[in-house]
Amino acid sequence: MKKHQITALVCLVAAAAIAIYSGNLFLSLRKPDKIIPGPGVTEVRKLSDYFSELKGTRGDSDIYILKGAEEGGKVLVLGGTHPNEPSGYLSAVIMVEKGKVSTGEVYVIPRANNSAFTHNDSQEASPLYLHFDNTKGEERAFRFGSRATNPIDQWPDPDVYEHAASGQQLSGSETRNLNRGYPGRPKGNLTEQMCYAITELIKKEDIGLTFDLHEASPEYPVINATVAHEKSMDIAAFGMFELDMIGIKMQLEPSPVNLHGLTHRELGDYTDTYPLLMETANASQGRLRGATNEELALTGKDKFYVSAQKLGMLYVPYDENGHPIEERVGRHLQSIQSYVSSYNDFTGETVVLENLPSYDEMLAGRLGDYLN
């Protein structure tokens, strides 16, 4: 054997070793996080229970149902529409692990786009996991995923994504964005099928109020905000007053009539639910951020955002304290409670949520205190 053939063999062995190592790492990301349902969860279903084509795909997410002893209204909470926006996902997880419902029913989907949890956005240097210690000192790990469905599950992207229901044209990669696919369609791609299943759930279960939990970069105008369909405006406005009294400043944004595919637009147009979408401040997805790591995702501390604030470039207050995950999750959980209260007042339905931390309690403690 010649010398260059020996080096070629060594190179092939090295390539195989690296491929096996990295392949195992990528495959491990497909394993769902451990979510430990609390005593409030009465049933667990799958999205495929509402659209059977999803069965066996990575779009078949779990639906946790918290049913109260007394009949009442129905609420849906979507976390993980965008898995690179951790406060939405973690708020839904806390609802599953700690929440209780005495009247009515609450449906929680922590991993709305399950496929998007199985990879990260390329060239973003995102952390793979966020870690928390619960009150027993045990470590809990939760994925930091991508904004969009994994291309392994849905490929290829078109050059231009045309929203089926409206004909709206967007960048091709938006075809994998769950929050551009509503109301979805049964013969569409995986993302559209997930949207369709969620829309079917809302219709079949007669969901009255729907929350879609998000985060946004600090330089994005719609931040610390609730986006409401026109029919949800009264509920959102009165909920906002309550939030203001608690000390939470919330902007109220009307859902643009000509921006299609989003929950706050299409779920309002195509179903009877009142949709609300909420955004908190997440530096780890911003364009002005420094090092992107777990600490940034958890604390929001970033000197570049502090500088940007001084230059008036941000839409959210920003100082050396950042925006910790407890504040962001606290905003979502408190907002859900306040908007549900407002929903009860406006519709005459009754949904009573219990055992969820208030905003002040979240700020005073650690997020891990509210995990099982």
Partner 1 sequence: MTIVYLIILAFVLGLVIWNLWTEKKLVNQLTAVMVIIPLVLRLLLIK
Q: Which residues bind partner 1 (CB under 8 A)?
A: 4-5, 7-8, 11-12, 14-16, 18-19, 22-23, 26-27, 119, 152, 155-156
- For 358, which DSSP code? P
CB of 54: closest distance to partner 1 in angstroms?
A: 19
* CB nearer partner 1, residue 19 or residue 257: 19
User: Prior bond to 39 cis, omega within 30?
Assistant: no
* CB nearer partner 1, residue 15 or residue 291: 15
CB of 291: closest distance to partner 1 in angstroms?
A: 24
For residue 49, give both structure tokens.
């229970």
CB of 262: closest distance to partner 1 in angstroms?
A: 29
* CB nearer partner 1, residue 3 or residue 287: 3
Q: Report the candidate in 94, 70, 3 with the shortest Cα–Cα distance to residue 337.
A: 94
Runs of H (alpha helix) within the chain: 3-28, 86-98, 190-205, 233-246, 268-270, 294-299, 303-310, 325-347, 359-364
* CB nearer partner 1, residue 91 or residue 118: 118
* CB nearer partner 1, residue 14 or residue 160: 14
Q: How far is residue 336's CA from residue 32's CA, in Å, rounded to a whole number?
A: 25
Residue 221, CA atoms < 13 Å, CB-side half-sphere: 2
Q: What is the DSSP string of 137-175?
A: S-EEEEE---SS--TTTS-PPPSEEE-TTT--EEEGGGG
For residue 76, the surrounding DSSP H or E stretch is strand 70-78
* Alpha-carbon distance values, 153 to 175, 191, 270, 365 (Å): 12, 9, 27, 39
* CB nearer partner 1, residue 22 or residue 171: 22
Q: How many residues are there in the chain?
A: 372
Task: Kindly report the number of other CB atoms within 10 A of residue 51's CB atom.
Answer: 22
* CB nearer partner 1, residue 5 or residue 258: 5
Residue type for position 357: P
Q: Report the candidate in 354, 274, 286 with the shortest Cα–Cα distance to residue 323.
A: 286
CB of 156: closest distance to partner 1 in angstroms?
A: 8
CB of 75: closest distance to partner 1 in angstroms?
A: 38
CB of 9: closest distance to partner 1 in angstroms?
A: 9
* CB nearer partner 1, residue 24 or residue 258: 24
CB of 18: closest distance to partner 1 in angstroms?
A: 5
CB of 127: closest distance to partner 1 in angstroms?
A: 18
* Alpha-carbon distance values, 46 to 59, 62, 109, 116, 117 (Å): 10, 5, 9, 17, 16
